Amino acid sequence: MKNDVENGNSTEFGNVNKAFEDDSGQQDIQLKSSQLNGVPIVAATTDKTKLDGATDAEENVSAGQERQQWSNGIEFLMSCIAMSVGLGNIWRFPYTAFKNGGGAFLIPYIVVLFLIGKPLYYLEMAVGQFVSGGPVKVWVLSPALKGLGYGQMFATIMVLIYYCSLMALTVFYFLQSFASELPWSTCAEEWDNCFDSKGAEGNISDAANRTGYKSSSELYFYKYVLHEPNSIEDGIGAPDWRLTLCLLFSWISIFVVIVRGVKSSGKAAYFLALFPYVIMVTLLIRGATLPGAGQGILFFIEPQWGELLNPEVWYNAVTQAFFSLNICFGTLIMYSSYNDFNHNVYRDAMIVTTLDTFTSLLAGCTIFSILGNLMYELGIDDIQGVVQGGTGLAFVSYPDAISKFDAVPQLFAVLFFLMLYTLGIGSAVALSGAVITVICDSFPNLKYWIVALATCIVGFIGGLVYVTPGGQYILTLVDFYGANFTVFILGTIEMIGIAWIYGVDNLCNDLEFMLGKKMGIYWRLCWGVVTPVLMLVILVYSMVIMKPETYHDEPFPTSAYAAGWILFTFGVIQLPFWALLVIFKRRKGTFLETMESAFRYSELWRPRDNRKYKEWKDFKEKKTRELEQFLRHESLWEKIVRIITGNSPLRSRLDESSSVQTKY
């Protein structure tokens, strides 16, 4: 998808950048529109400007300041894999695929992966690397939109805190797996209407078919581990001391990994990225050899073609791709900001997004092979009776299946929960790193390890609410209102801000300079039209079909929904709040001049290295002159071709004319 000619700098997909410095570094070249035969052209004029509206923190992190970098590109790649391949691949994708057409779900999933997932993943990597700044600082490309960074950080904090509570549950189950008999395999005396997860096939089948009976694995999770109340109206209770210790261990683990920034997390990434695959393959081999495994995998991959016409299936495919890749949480921007300026993020983006899909399929086959065996043991024909989504899959269905293993079930339980913990810490390290980077970018005089320690302490204290008996009720609300829904809205605006306000031509020129290759038609079309339009359509559709969140199919009280909407409002309101603040600081002249000043990129949108900055400035000036030449002479058809492909047929004609003149 490489083009052989240079891109133009047009306004069709967004506003043309207005500020380029001259060779002295003291002046801007402001691009002003004029008219020639009804076609806007760009003329370069010089005008003294300053960093109008830039904060002191932004000034402090401008070019020239030392910034950590990855020791090598492999550490960055491994960190991205550890971040993107997380718990969602294990317990969300298999269940989502199963509920949305099985193998047929792969068609919409792969389509949206190519139209939304890959373009957005590559885009976030690229902008973070270009400006060498975190999720807030990157919005010097359009200062009025910096609230997007703060809103995403709010959502990231929400996810990080409850994510670590899930890791605490994983630690608890991991420790319990060393018992001589798996504690969830048999019923406790005080549990009514319970049947042993471990037992003779006939007994299990008889009990399972009795109305109102539950497996010991399910009751162990909800009654022994969580002590969950019947309703959130009964109160959430006090933190469980056992889970509190597990939560503390999880945060200590995170601190150890991130204490030295990417210098320490990069080293840990090798283990965090690769070890889960060793366990996953081991479990798949074991699962595939169990009776009924083939039937379970068949349930997972057998296509239900009629589901392709269901718009909700496509919506679920988009949300799965969106959140599986961990995009729009600021983590990708943060990680890529520590790259060398010319690092090949295109290659890494393609590797990680492809590997993430492969991992989801591998996890699906692994999980459903085990569930197929559980279905066989229970003597039932419908896997619906044994499969659950989310935490139910990780802490009920899978432990239930492991308890029936004849040979050393403890070993496979240890491996499974160790894999979950490793996947969890890889994502948690990235989430916490994004928060720390925003703070350090804003207050560069703070020591990194102190900020990391403070983040972990605050995260631990905030996470105590999730290790209470009613913690899962709170998690369900926060996950939707404070994280998923908020991030999707902010992510849609992020895509629009970069593609339509900063402009696809400007973006492609910057990436061409940074990576040394032109952006092909696929990227230009996705960034300029397909991805933002699809995300807008999906956002509107999600609002139309939105239903109140439930837990165990039971609605929350009105006060809980009100609290959820307050969380959502706090995250989203960051955008208009910071936009109005920037507009107020930059007010001058007419309303349009003020808006232009607030939304056009500042002088801090630039390569951090001064030498690269000088080269980039010259490169942009060259592009400006070329665009002026094209706009003066190209036909309407040539203009359309240039907008879509980044190539101008006029260049070929001009080159041919120049070649003929040189020859004669």
Binding-site members for Na(+) are: 85, 89, 324, 423, 427
Q: Within 13 A of 72's CA, how many CA atoms are on the CB side? A: 5
State the binding site. Answer: 85, 89, 324, 423, 427
Helices (H), 289-407: 293-301, 311-324, 331-336, 345-378, 391-392, 398-402
d(CA 110, CA 106): 6
Residue 35 has phi, psi (to 5 degrees) of: -120, 135
3-state secondary structure of 185: coil
**What are the two backbone dihedrals, phi and then psi, of residue 556, each rounded to the nearest 5 degrees?**
-85, 160
What does the DSSP 8-state code read for residue 403? Answer: T
551: Cβ contacts below 8 Å, ≥ 6 apart: 232, 472, 473, 476
As a whole number of angstroms, the distance between CA 243 and CA 172 comes to 7
Residue that is written with structure tokens 């926060």 in the block = 478
Q: Is 24 helix (H, G, I), strand (E, B) or coil?
A: coil
Q: What three-state secondary structure class fits 37?
A: coil
Residue type at position 185: S
Answer for the pair 462, 158: CB distance below 8 angstroms, yes or no. Answer: no
> What one-character DSSP code corresponds to residue 484?
I
Six token digits for residue 294 = 């083939």
How many other C-beta atoms can be found within 10 angstroms of the C-beta atom of residue 490?
27
Buried b (16+ CB within 10 A) or exposed e, 293-323: bebbbebbbeeeeebeeeeebbbbbbbbbbb
Distance CA 621, CA 608 (A): 19
CA of residue 662 relative to chain centroid, distance: 53
Any idea of the CA torsion for 505, 511, 515, 516, to the nearest 10 degrees?
Answer: 30
CA proximity to 3, closest of 380, 515, 473: 515
* DSSP of 212-272: T-EEHHHHIIIIIIS---S-GGG---PPPHHHHHHHHHHHHHHHHHHTTTHHHHHHHHHHH
Question: And the tokens for 605?
Answer: 């949108």
H/E run at residue 34? strand 28-36
Distance CA 495, CA 221 (A): 41
Cβ-based neighbour number of residue 233 at 10 Å: 12
